[in-house]
Chains A and B, each alone.
Chain A
Amino acid sequence: MSQLQRKCSPGSRLTLLWIPAIACLAMLGLTEQVSTQANQNRASRMWAPALAGAAPGEIQVLPVQGNVHVLIGAGGNITVQAGADGVLMVDTGNAAMSAKVIAAMRSILSRPLRYIVNTTDRAEHTGGNSAIADVGETIPFREPNYTAGPQGALDVGRASIIAYYTVMHRMSAPTGKAAPIPESGWPDNTYSIAQKRLYFNDEPVVIMHLTANSDGNSIVLFRKSDVVSAGDLLDLTGYPVIDLAGGGTIETMVNSLNRLIDVVVPRANAAGGTMVIPGHGRIADHAEVVYYRDMMTIVRDRVQDLIKKGMTLDQVKAARPTRDWDARYGRDTGDWTTSMFVEAVYQSLKK
């Protein structure tokens, strides 16, 4: 072997040493690149990940299904059904957000706003009525210059506002008394039976009256899109605001949630299929409605049991019958606290 070595030049031996060295360096270079990627991944991993909601003061537009979008961030959720016939909007949010709601609506479709449906009389759902209806137009029953009879008095230069008739009562006032909101925000298209139906944007739109957190709730079913706008019958951000003076009780909430479940058909495994737009919070489906119904029913039964045991309102509150849902739905401050909800349940069961 040594003889053979002597026959070769030192330079060629050096060359041979470099081959494995270069190969190894190349491999190290490769691994460095991959390691860098791994480190970047570790740095970007958050626990738990932050999820983007609607920025304060801004409207988030999310597609729901079929012709339907939801606008989130204006107070109550706003449903927008858009198509060749124009726009139908369910609820209008707070008055202060009207300009942004109009801009969001136009980002979906620039055709005219024809209808607004109010699911309740609460300001966070109806506050934008006046300003938003003003940018719409109603398809006239007669020629535009027709003035005879009641239909002649309709202002076709604005969208028509549909609501259950008790909503109109609450928003208006007898002659000579101050109304809670100006007349321009009142419904001009009320109904007083179980449901009102339209055919709009190539699909049936069924507006159903339910007594839920007040006696004036409506839910709106877009039958071809397979979406229900549920208003405050479903609030995935908190306990429902039960308006005892307005005819709402815990019983009407439970009954109407069961009615909503009847309307919502899951695609598979108790979920998917019919989409539900709650009055507040994220897009939902059958499972969320059932969970919410379960919670309402269990809280009702617990409070009823405590009442049967002779407890006063303060004792019922101290027993914390909602404790297992408080971390999810409860609030200690604001317009509607856990304490107010428990009191509403208690008072509705004491009636």
Chain B
Amino acid sequence: MCRAHVGIWVLQWTGRVPLLLLLVLSMSQPVFAQVDITGLWRPMPRNQDGSGMTGDAAGVPLTPEGQWRGQSWSPEDFDTAEWVCRPHAFDYSLEGPLTAMRIWAEMDRPSQRVISYGAHLNQQEQETTIYMDGRPRPPANALHTWSGFSTGEWDGDVLVVTTTHLKETYIRRSGLMRSDQATVRTRWRRMGNYLQATSILYDPVNFAEPYMRTALMWINDPALVESPYPCEEATETAVPRGDVAHFLPGQSPLPGLNPNLADRFGTPYEARLGGPATTYPEYITRMKTLPRPATTAPAGAAEN
């Protein structure tokens, strides 16, 4: 090849190659899809679902039976000796307590493929493993845990995690429960220094429809420090050992279940009871037709 041709070729393709490469890149998203999600992640403030009023279930697709369960909950549940060390389970922690998170990868050295991702939440030291190696799920009769058993697959640049083998736990700290039959699908997406999670919770026991949460965001923070968070089983608590704190049907004093008390948004009482209808934008139209509670809730009626 002559030197002159090389010069011309360079000049001609200097303009064309980037275009061609762009074309190829646009067709080849999966090549660049498996982004690195490891690192230290600081949670970003955001609005939680609902009004924050204790007892509120707006936006949660509870079945009527799931509503009943929530309405029997007493705040003293957290003082029950056996539950003092109950953690915010991993899937709730993503939404609830704005906790720091560390993600790391377990690599297969010869192939340099990811065997699994590990994730540690500062809040009550919850950890999970997301298996990327296609291993089968444990049998149905294996132990269920707070974090469950998770497998992950890349869907474009989104890591899709499917979690089973979960213990029953709350999805809000005022008695709204998901069952041990639930499956959680979490979609993790990194956008530069930001990490976003979309959580879809399917529970055939307490939910009429899947419960989706999208506003879960973290920012990469290499200086983030995670602290120990141990818990020692309680011996003496406000609730005597063996007692189970709860309210009988129709007798809950929780402010969210009092039709006369208004939350800070003036949410109608019907909406606060939750249910699948309250998860859809169309429900806003209905809310506008519903009476608003008139009495201002006392201080402390809301958690946030």
Residues of A that sit less than 8 Å from B by CB: 1, 4-5, 7-9, 12-13, 15-16, 20, 24, 27-28, 30-31, 34-35, 37-38, 41-42, 44-45, 47-49, 51-54, 60, 62, 70, 72, 258, 261, 265-266, 268-272, 275, 281-288, 290-291, 293-294, 297-298, 301-302, 305, 321, 323-328
B31 close to A41 (CB less than 8 A): no
B248 is contacted by which of A5, A297, A301 (Cβ under 8 Å)? A301
A45 close to B65 (CB less than 8 A): no
Which of chain B's residues has its CB closest to A4's CB? B4
Interface segment among B99-107, B138-146, B286-294: the answer is B138-146
With A8-B2, A20-B20, A324-B68: A51-B7 Cβ-Cβ less than 8 Å: no
B145 close to A271 (CB less than 8 A): yes
A328 close to B179 (CB less than 8 A): yes
Say how far B189's CB is from chain A's closest CB, in angstroms: 15
Which of chain B's residues has its CB closest to A285's CB? B143
A323 close to B68 (CB less than 8 A): yes
> In the complex the two chains form, what is the Cα distance from A281 to B168 in whole Å?
15
Interface residues on B, range: 35 or more
One digit per residue, 1 when the CB lies within 8 angstroms of any chain A CB and 0 when it does not, for chain B 57-80 equals 000000111101100100000000
B155 contacts A by Cβ under 8 Å: yes
One digit per residue, 1 when the CB lies within 8 angstroms of any chain A CB and 0 when it does not, for chain B 225-238 equals 00000110100000
Additional 5 contacts, C-beta under 8 A, given A269-B125, A291-B168: A8-B5, A34-B30, A48-B162, A48-B202, A323-B68
B209 contacts A by Cβ under 8 Å: no
B1 close to A269 (CB less than 8 A): no
> What residues on B are CB-neighbors of A284 within 8 Å?
143-144
A-B contacts, 20 of them at CB < 8 A, read: A1-B8, A12-B5, A20-B13, A24-B20, A31-B27, A38-B154, A47-B202, A48-B183, A62-B142, A72-B141, A268-B230, A270-B85, A270-B86, A288-B144, A293-B244, A301-B244, A301-B248, A302-B249, A323-B68, A327-B179
> In the complex the two chains form, what is the Cα distance from A317 to B63 in whole Å?
20
Say how far B148's CB is from chain A's closest CB, in angstroms: 11
B65 close to A326 (CB less than 8 A): yes
B183 close to A28 (CB less than 8 A): no
A31 close to B5 (CB less than 8 A): no
Which of chain A's residues has its CB closest to B251's CB? A305
With A20-B13, A298-B246: A261-B82 Cβ-Cβ less than 8 Å: yes
